Structure formats: structure tokens, C-alpha cells
Structure 1
Amino acid sequence: MSTEKGSTATPTYRAAHVPEGQDLGHRWSTRLAHHDDPADRRAVRQIAELTFESSAEADLVEELVASGEGWLPQYSLMAMTASIPGTDLYSDPMGYGTLVRAHIDDAEVLALAPHGVLPEHQGEGAGTALVNALLEKAQKDGEQAVVVYGWPEYYAKFGFRPAAEHGVTAAFATQPEALQVIALQEGAEIPSGEFRYPPAFGAENAQVAGR
């Protein structure tokens, strides 16, 4: 494992909040997605297909689950609203997100992908709730770093920084500024080198994570 000594320190994860004045709509909760449950599998597929207007993300999740390589079921979460506030009764899932095992050269990291929220609930805080829940759990589990390929303006609020600051590159990253990384532990060093998703993403599917 190689590390870039003396690079600009990446801030450790901090919980991000929806900007003041934004309509939260409902109070979001998260739970584990049970991929052995047909109802949860259908929900994940529906969320992915409606969010991205494509079956690619849903197919990717199913391939990750089936292959097992890079798949971490403890980081597969759904977002829903409480049907009755203060109770354990919840709505149908409105959002889905996961962290998978990835690598920077030989160093193990996590990758945030794929994740999405049903179009009619976007902008209500569900996506923020999912990312917060995933990063908080990984932090508590002692994971060191998370990589994401997506909109810098969105992920900066969680503390993600350009991966290039730490010498992290990716062959698929046609928009290098979208490749970002965050340290989860105080004092953790970000490995430098080539970032790779699990094999299920494939060279042609790596862009799935960046939609």
C-alpha cells in the first residue's frame, strides 16, 4: 500500500445537514435492505430504475449481491418516512444506498455507489439521510476512507475532497474533479494510487456510480 506523505489533509467525516429553508417534507429513517426478501429486491429495482431511467444500476446491485465480491450487506440501506411519527411503522422505501468494498492500489477502501431517491422525493433530505447513515456506520466500524464519483457540489457538504489532492486516480474518471475521497478516522491517511471498483462494475459500467 502506498500513501502520499505530506499531502493536504482530508477533513474527517462530519454529518451533513440539509440547507436551512429546504423543504424536508418528512422525517427520514433508514434500515437495512434485505436482499433475500422479494419485496426489498423489488423496491431496490424500482428506486434505481425510476431514479436513473435505466436498469443498469438495479442490475449492478443484483450482480454485486450474486457475486459477493465487494458486497457488504451491512452497508445496504433503505430510506423511508415514518408512517406514524413516534412508532415503528414505516412507509414503503423511497431511497436506497450502499457502500461496497473497493481498492486504491492494494489498500482496501469503501466506495459509495450506487444510491438514489425516487424522483418525487428528491430534494426532501432522503439522499442526505442515506449518505449520513452509511458514513456514520462505516466510521463506527473503523473503516478508513470512502471514495465517491459524483457531483462535487453535493458531496462537499459531507467533507469529501478531490481525490487528486491525495494522488488518487481512476481510469474511468472522464471528469477527474468528480472523483472524491473522505477520511473517516481522525489522523487516517488516504492511500494514493489507482482506484478500482469491484469487478461487477466493469470498465464500461464504472460510470454508473457517477450519475
Structure 2
Amino acid sequence: MQRTGHLWRTRSEHEDSADDHAGIRRVLEAAFETDSEADLVDALRQDPDHWIQRYSVLGMTAAIPDSEFETLPAAHALVHRCIVGGQPGLMLAPTGVLPQHQGEGAGTAVINAVLERAKDDGEPFVLVYGYPHYYPRFGFTPASEVGITAEWATQKPALQIRILDDSATIPTGEVELPKAYGI
């Protein structure tokens, strides 16, 4: 259930911002209780073939001006390049919210913001490997329905797609992730 009372501002990560990098790391380490997702973001940042600066989105509360919450992110979502059937695609991963802000709409705000950026840029689709009961609220459907698969996806229903451009030809085949994933 979404708690009310918080307004969320979103913005893209600032290039070469140590504060943004530290804030994103803080969010992801707290959300996942490990540094794996934060390390993934750091590794992707060093991969110009897969990193898209504008698609690293932070969410800060706008309800408490002049406080640390105004400048420190409470949520983060990243969309990066992947390959689908030999064609370029996009993958939403990772996303995270500080535990004390979960259920307040921060995750929804950053996911919606990054999907809107991709759509505005004319990207045809975004994939996600995540909870099948959570991502449909953002328009994701099973990727297998359009012929997209991934050998590494142990839970097949978790591989989902959000088509951003209904007129685009969506590639089919295997999803290849960046080397940062280590698979």
C-alpha cells in the first residue's frame, strides 16, 4: 500500500558527481543489503557501450525542503543498453529504494521517469528481470510473448518487456547483458 504525504522529484545523475555516485551506492546497498547492485552500477558507468547517463535517475523527496532529503536520493532506477537477438535494446536494472521510503511512491517515481525518458528518446522497448507481480503496473508483459528469451533467466516469467513504440519492430531472440553482470 502506498503511503501518502511525499512528493518525489526526479532527475538524471550528474556526470562525474561523487555526491550522486555515493548517494546511489547508499540507496542500493540499503535496498539490497549487499553491494552487488551498487557495484554493477559502478561497472556499467565505466562501459560506454552500455551506459546512458540520462537513464540513471534519482528520486528525492520534495516534501521536506531545506533538509538532507532534498539533496540525498531516496530511490534510484537505471536503464542501460543490452543486446536482443543481435540488436540493441534496453534493460531496467537495478532499481532500489531506501527501506524507510519504501511504499511511499519513490520507486514508482524513478521507474516512471526513466521509462518516460526512454520513450521520449524514441527507444522501442525496455526489458526488466524482476517480480512478475510488480512490473505489470508499469506496462510490462512477459517477454516470451514477443519471442525474447534469456538463458540466464532462471525464472522465465520474471523476464518482461515494456513496449514504448507500438510501431517499432521488436527484435526476438536471446538477451545478452553487459560484461558488468559477469554472466
TM-score tier, shorter chain, comes to over 0.9
Amino acid aligned to 2:19: A
Q: Structure with the greater relative contact order (CA < 8 A, sep ≥ 6): 1 or 2?
A: 1
**Aligned to 1:84, which of 45, 51, 65?**
65
TM-score between the two structures when normalised by the length of structure 1: 0.81
**Structure 2 matches for 1:1-211, cutoff 5 A?**
22-82=2-62, 83-84=64-65, 90-203=70-183
Q: Is the 8 A contact 1:31 1:79 kept in 2?
A: yes
Provide structure 1 residue ranges, at least 5 long, that are not aligned to the other structure: 1-20, 204-211
CA distance in 1, matches of 2:39, 2:6: 29
Relative to structure 1, the CA distance from residue 186 to residue 67 in structure 2 (aligned partners, 3 Å threshold; closer, same or farther) is closer
Query: Could you list the per-position Cα deviations for residues 133-188 of structure 1 after superposition, in whole angstroms to 9, with x for gaps in the alignment?
Result: 01111101000010000011111011111011111110111100000011101322
Distance in 2 (CA, whole Å) between partners of 1:58 and 1:64 is 10
Q: What value does the CA root-mean-square deviation take over the aligned residues? A: 1.6
C-alpha displacement of 1:35? 4.6
**TM-score with structure 2 setting the length:** 0.93
Deviations for 1:179-198, whole angstroms, at most 9, x for unmatched residues? 00111013223211001111
Give distance in 2, aligned partners of 1:63 and 1:91.
24
Percent identity among equivalent residues? Answer: 46
Deviations 1:74-103 (A, max 9, x none): 111100011339xxx934210111110111
Unaligned runs of 5+ in 2: none
